[in-house]
Structure 1
Amino acid sequence: MSTILHLETSEKLCSVAVANNGKMLAYDMASASNDHARQITLVIERVLQQAELHLDQFSAIAISSGPGSYTGLRVAASASKGICYALDIPLIAINTLISLAHAAEQQTSEEAVYVPMMDARRMEVYTAVYDAQLKPVIVPHARIMDENSLQELVGGFDVPIIICGSGSHKCKHLFNSDNMLYREDLINNAKNLIRPAYQAYCNDVFEDAAYFKPFYLKAPNITTPKPILK
């Protein structure tokens, strides 16, 4: 028996889901974007009310480990560590891209290759390639999309290629073929964490909360303010 609280904060809107033995009981999303630090507690409270549960009834906390928003990932890591310490329950960390691939695979009826893409700055995306069994063919990395990028990623496959996530629009106008399906509607949310988190829980794949750090993939984009002209 497992009851898991899932926190997804890798992009603009944070979301929270509760699942029991891999079956979703409740879900909610923040009402404001890029406000993770304030919204995450409010969304957790609403989801607990929906599920009619208290925090001390959970078996584990699952979070998206990255890549994604530097600030968002830190918020989820901090919140989950606090809960795990207080309740003495394990922390589960799921790569954001593999959770997207799981979501796409659950909605695909035939064997396919999965290419999740998260929007980064300008024409850059965070991406990876997973086979039909969701094994990594190309590991998560940052890539600038141009006319050759998608061909380099999936040019050798003769099965359907599912391209999903908030960054998929960046290559849709650059490259298309009959075996490519763009799923721009499939974006990161806490629901995507449920299946991989349950698999991790059943296999005792946990993080050491004391030492866990999100998978940022790239350094944060911090700029120095310009001096005020007098």
Structure 2
Amino acid sequence: MALILSLDTSTTVCSVALHRQNDSSANPLLGCYELFIERTSSAMLTTLINDIVGQAGFTLPELDAIAVAKGPGSYTGLRISVSTAKGLCFALGKPLLAINTLMAMAEQVRPYVPATHLLCPMIDARRMEVYCALYDTHGREVQPTAATIIDEQSFADELTQRPIIFFGDGAEKCRSILGVHPNAVFPATTVLPSARTIGQLAIDAFDQGQFEDVATFEPFYLKDFMAIKPKKPMF
């Protein structure tokens, strides 16, 4: 029965979860902490890790694997969780699992969606650009993860064929453009990435031996980092 610690700081949510694979239980989640804050630090993440493992009655050496949201998402956020996960793997001698952030977001919604619909998780990438992908209700990828600039033609072909549920912190800014189509659905509640579903998907990845090379693994940034240049002084 694998014990898996999952981390996600790919957006403004800092979350950790602990899952224990157990054939006798339909819910392997032992615990989850989520902090909805603007700035995440490695110190906050480390505190949550120690708390969730200890309060579940385990120690870090008892973990069987570390799972992390690999991206896309915030450049700084991804670096924090990935570097923490890799540090734990090196220190404890545990394998690393990496889960696509958008796929894990789709997993939050998938059980509640009619089979006729597609799922489109969106992460804000500034201006009218989003990180997004399309999944069916079986969790299968229909369109791969991409950085997409949303305009009136976005998803035009797909929307003529079946309803699409757009969700995530990038979806709201697209509502005025995509919402005019009768097959475009926008939930009332914002769905944000969480280690809860990172861990769910990590159980299957663990069973299939989909481990990363800890030494060479890098986050799935999707775009090159662009620093914001400071404004020149007026005088």
> TM-score w.r.t. structure 2 length?
0.89
CA contact (8 A) 1:64 1:96 kept: yes
Q: Counterpart in 2 of 1:180?
A: 184
Aligned to 1:16: 16
- The answer as to 2:50 corresponding to 1:45 is yes
8 Å contact 2:160–2:183 — kept in the other structure? no
Q: CA RMSD in A?
A: 1.9
Q: 2:41 aligns to what?
A: 36
Whole-Å separation in 1 of the counterparts to 2:14 and 2:156: 32
**Match of 2:225, as an amino acid?**
P
1:117 is matched with: 122
Q: Select between 209-218 and 116-125 the one with higher mean Cα deviation.
A: 116-125
Separation of aligned partners in 1, 2:212 and 2:138: 24
Given that 2:159 and 2:183 are in contact with CA atoms closer than 8 Å, whether structure 1 keeps it comes out as no
Equivalent residue for 2:173?
170
Give the whole-Å Cα distance in 2 for the aligned partners of 1:174 and 1:226: 32
Q: CA deviation at 1:156?
A: 4.2
- 1:60-94: CA deviations, max 9, x gaps? 00000000010111111111111111111110000
**Do 2:6 and 2:68's aligned partners in 1 also have CA atoms closer than 8 Å?**
yes
Q: Distance in 2 between matches of 1:215 and 1:32?
A: 22
Equivalent-residue separation in structure 2 for 1:182 and 1:226 (angstroms): 37
User: CA-to-partner distance for each residue in 1:25-84, whole Å, 9 max, x for gaps?
Assistant: 011123632223232112212212331221111110000000001011111111111111
CA distance in structure 2 between the aligned counterparts of 1:31 and 1:136, rounded to whole angstroms: 28
The Cα shift of 1:226 comes to 3.9
The amino acid that maps onto 2:166 is I
Q: Provide the rounded CA distance (Å) in 2 between the counterparts of 1:6 and 1:110.
A: 28
Tell me how far apart the structure 2 counterparts of residues 47 and 201 of structure 1 sit (CA, whole Å).
Answer: 20
The residue identity in structure 2 corresponding to 1:175 is L
Amino acid at match of 1:210: A
SS state of the match for residue 174, structure 1?
helix
Native 8 Å contact 2:72 2:100 kept in 1 = yes
1:31/1:185 Cα in 2 relative to 1: closer, same or farther (>3 Å)? closer
- Is the CA contact (8 Å cut-off) linking 1:117 and 1:127 kept in structure 2? yes
Deviation at 1:106, TM superposition (A): 2.4
Identical aligned residues as a percent:
37
Which of 181, 201, 205 aligns to 1:200? It is: 205
Does the CA contact (< 8 Å) of 1:104 and 1:162 recur in 2?
no
What is the count of residue pairs matched by the alignment? 228
Work out whether residues 19 and 200 of structure 2, in 8 Å CA contact, stay in contact via their aligned partners in 1.
no
> Aligned-pair distance for 1:157?
2.6
Q: Distance in 1 between matches of 2:75 and 2:32?
A: 23
Aligned counterparts of 1:109 and 1:76: Cα–Cα separation in 2:
33
1:155/1:111 Cα in 2 relative to 1: closer, same or farther (>3 Å)?
Answer: closer
Matches within 5 A, 1:114-153: 114-152=119-157
